[in-house]
């Protein structure tokens, strides 16, 4: 087991694995510690929408072979309200940018396979218990693996271990500020073995609540319903789920929702959170360890990938020149992008969902905003630019 490395990467999700890939290509040694086993990590269901910038980053580091072969290219999304639909065309509004549908499970599998093929250290079932010396030039990651307590001495520690991870606790509480919002509704998500009833994602505003039609592949549909917090997914029959989806997606015309066997179901609470700063001493945060967004804007995975790209560049500059200028700027630069993504995610969420006890006045404001997007190329471009991804800085 390695006891010394340049960068200790805690967390084997997209942020940690992509960071490790980029560091490896830059000739910077790192060790990835993941608390779960490989099977769990590769089956952990999360987002599946990749911005243009994320795709470009994966291609640049040689991690997009399967993505390019199997990912679904989407040039837009459809908004539905008042039994009408309106398509937002990304390339025409963003100068050619588009998104791809590629499940996080598949991206993680690709990055793990590359890491192992490189023979680079990736330890599963390695539970980090503490990070000490964050304010020194030799922080230490303490962890247990194969029944033994171990220590990893690092130049830097990258916390990619999620919002409730251990690395955040290495930063003194008085140095951290966390801003949070908990939404008064959840998403009831299902996977169904049925070809999608649409070519691109459908976001529906309905008097009955929000609904989203997505997909995992040409043969598997991914669908969501807005439900009250605390909803028991087992309380719904398959028929009730399909009936409710059909009612919320209803539009005038001949469109129909295809039904099929539901294979998975889960209720996902919606919340936002941002931790400031994203760097303290030799500890740096990335991905969910630093920020959480509701999934309505499809930003979570893409923010994590952007964190990894910017952090890898900063560490490469340090390794090549000894200067910490880019590392010193990491937190401020990323927080600007994070808050932009938080605002867009909040906008999409509050525009499309009906809050408990919502007044008719507030509903009229939502409908007015949707009408504005349909009527104004400027409003549509603002949505498209944020959804397809703003340029990485």
Is the pLDDT score of 47 beyond 80? no
Instruction: Answer whether CATH 3.10.180.10 is correct for domain 4-72+100-180+271-348.
Output: no
Of 133, 169, 171, 172, nearest to 151 by C-alpha is: 133
Q: How many residues does the chain have?
A: 393
| Residues 198-222: tens digit of each pLDDT | 999 999 999 999 999 999 899 999 9
CA distance between the termini of the chain? 36
Measure CA 358 to chain center. Answer: 28
Mean pLDDT of the chain: 96
pLDDT at 48: 86
User: Is the separation of the CB atoms in 20 and 83 below 8 Å?
Assistant: no
Distance in angstroms (rounded) separating the CA atoms of residues 129 and 165 = 10
Backbone angles phi, psi at 304, to 5 degrees: -60, -45
- 389 token code pair: 């991804």
| Residues 342-392: tens digit of each pLDDT | 999 999 999 999 999 999 999 999 999 999 999 999 999 999 999 999 887
Active site residue 109: no
What pairs with residue 187 in β-bridges? 226, 268
Active site residue 74: yes
Per-residue 3-state assignment (H helix, E strand, C coil) for 113-152: HHHHHCCCCEECCCEEEEEECCCCCCCEEEEEECCEEEEE
Distance in angstroms (rounded) separating the CA atoms of residues 115 and 110 = 9
| Residues 307-348: tens digit of each pLDDT | 999 999 999 999 999 999 999 999 999 999 999 999 999 999
Instruction: Answer whether CATH 3.30.9.10 is correct for domain 183-270+356-388.
Output: yes
Of 277, 304, 311, nearest to 288 by C-alpha is: 304
Active site residue 203: yes
Of 278, 382, 386, nearest to 342 by C-alpha is: 386
Domains of the chain, by residue range, sit at: 4-72+100-180+271-348, 183-270+356-388
> Half-sphere exposure of 315 toward its Cβ, with a 13 Å CA cutoff?
31
Active site residue 185: no
Of 248, 245, 276, 282, nearest to 262 by C-alpha is: 245
Give the mean pLDDT of 229-241: 97
Backbone angles phi, psi at 222, to 5 degrees: -125, 120
- 198 token code pair: 């649409």
Give the mean pLDDT of 82-98: 97
User: Is the separation of the CB atoms in 102 and 120 below 8 Å?
Assistant: no
Residue 215 vs residues 49, 74, 99, 302, 375: alpha-carbon distances, Å:
10, 11, 13, 18, 28
Q: How confident is the model at residue 393 (pLDDT cuts 50, 70, 90)?
A: low
Catalytic residue among 24, 295, 330, 353: 295
Catalytic residue among 143, 185, 224, 387: 387
What is the phi-psi region of residue 357: left when phi exceeds 0, alpha when psi lies from -120 to 50, beta otherwise?
A: left
Catalytic residue among 196, 299, 330, 353: 299
Q: Which residues contact 19 (CB under 8 A, 6 or more apart)?
A: 7, 9, 30, 158, 160, 286, 307, 308, 311, 312
Is the pLDDT score of 92 beyond 90? yes
pLDDT at 282: 96
- 206 token code pair: 């309905």
Residue 182 vs residues 185, 265, 270, 346, 349: alpha-carbon distances, Å:
9, 22, 6, 11, 12
Distance in angstroms (rounded) separating the CA atoms of residues 102 and 57 = 15
Is the pLDDT score of 18 beyond 80? yes
Is the pLDDT score of 29 beyond 90? yes
Helix (H, G, I), strand (E, B) or coil at 217: strand
Catalytic residue among 14, 24, 74, 196: 74
User: Is the separation of the CB atoms in 201 and 268 below 8 Å?
Assistant: no
User: Is the separation of the CB atoms in 212 and 87 below 8 Å?
Assistant: no
Of 101, 104, 118, 136, nearest to 32 by C-alpha is: 118
Catalytic residue among 203, 224, 294, 353: 203
Pairing of strands 148-159, 99-101: unpaired
Active site residue 330: no
């Amino acid at each position: 087991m390695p006891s010394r490395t340049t960068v200790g990467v805690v967390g084997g999700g997209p942020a940690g694995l992509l960071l490790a890939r980029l560091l490896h290509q830059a000739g910077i040694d790192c060790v990835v510690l993941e608390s779960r086993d490989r099977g769990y990590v590769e089956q952990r269901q999360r987002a599946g929408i990749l911005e243009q910038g994320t795709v470009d980053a994966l291609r640049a580091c040689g991690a997009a072979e399967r993505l390019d072969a199997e990912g679904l290219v989407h040039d837009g999304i459809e908004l539905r309200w008042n039994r009408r639909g309106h398509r937002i065309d990304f390339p025409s509004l963003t100068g050619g940018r588009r998104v791809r549908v590629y499940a996080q499970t598949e991206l993680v599998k690709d990055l793990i396979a590359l890491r192992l093929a490189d023979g680079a250290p990736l330890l599963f079932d390695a539970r980090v218990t503490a990070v000490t010396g964050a304010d020194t030039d030799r922080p230490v990651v303490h962890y247990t693996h194969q029944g033994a307590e171990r220590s990893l001495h690092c130049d830097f520690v990258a916390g990619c271990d999620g919002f409730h991870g251990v690395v955040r606790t290495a930063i003194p509480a008085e140095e951290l500020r966390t801003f949070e919002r908990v939404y008064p509704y959840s998403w009831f998500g299902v996977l169904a073995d049925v070809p999608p009833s649409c070519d691109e994602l459908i976001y529906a505003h309905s008097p009955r609540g929000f609904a989203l039609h997505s997909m995992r592949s040409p043969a598997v549909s991914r669908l969501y319903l807005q439900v009250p917090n605390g909803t028991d997914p087992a309380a719904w029959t398959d028929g009730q789920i399909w009936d409710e989806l059909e009612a919320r997606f209803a539009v005038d015309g001949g469109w129909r929702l295809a039904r099929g066997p539901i294979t998975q179901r889960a209720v996902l609470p919606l919340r936002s959170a941002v931790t400031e700063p994203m760097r303290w001493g030799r500890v740096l945060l990335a991905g969910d360890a630093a920020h959480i967004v509701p999934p309505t804007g499809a930003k979570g995975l893409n923010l994590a990938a952007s964190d990894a790209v910017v952090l890898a560049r900063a560490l490469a500059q340090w390794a090549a020149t000894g200067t910490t200028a880019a590392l010193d700027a990491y937190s401020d630069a990323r927080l600007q992008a994070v808050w932009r993504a938080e605002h867009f995610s909040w906008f999409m969420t509050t525009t499309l969902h009906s809050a408990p006890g919502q007044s008719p006045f507030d509903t009229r404001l939502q409908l007015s905003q949707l009408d504005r997007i349909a009527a104004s190329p400027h409003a549509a471009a603002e949505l498209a630019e944020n959804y397809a991804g703003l340029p990485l800085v």
